[in-house]
Structure 1
Amino acid sequence: MVRDEWIRRCAARYVAAGDVEPVMARLYAQTRADDQAELHGESGAAWISPEDAADEDMADWDEDG
């Protein structure tokens, strides 16, 4: 999957599951993509799914209070 598609899907998950405004969702998704690139390389081949990345991030929101 190309990076732009990964970011689009991740942002869509933030909007659908987290009730996040689209502009903020895209920023969050770009940050998650940067995290995945740092952890697993730029190719995207070993990245977790964009939906899982958003879900993992949003799970932390409840813990942050």
Structure 2
Amino acid sequence: MSASTPDRQTRLALALRENLKRRKRQTRERAREAQDESREAEAHDRAGDVAGAPDSGTAGGDASSGEGGA
């Protein structure tokens, strides 16, 4: 039985290494996706500010605009 132990340990080490690589890759992909989404949202926000969309300032009841609900 001791003859198969090194082979088993080698397979386990390889499997663990591959698992670590996969997890790192997934983490990088998720971070990249989150960064892309953040950039898209930021660009969308900036586009709304520049264009002066008709509904800007009315959503959320901005008190500084002078348009209150009272």
Q: Which TM-score bucket, shorter chain as reference?
A: 0.3 to 0.5
Q: Give the structure with the higher percent helix.
A: 1
When normalised by structure 2's length, the TM-score is 0.30
Larger gyration radius, structure 1 or structure 2:
2
Higher relative contact order (CA 8 A, sep 6+): 1
TM-score with structure 1 setting the length: 0.32
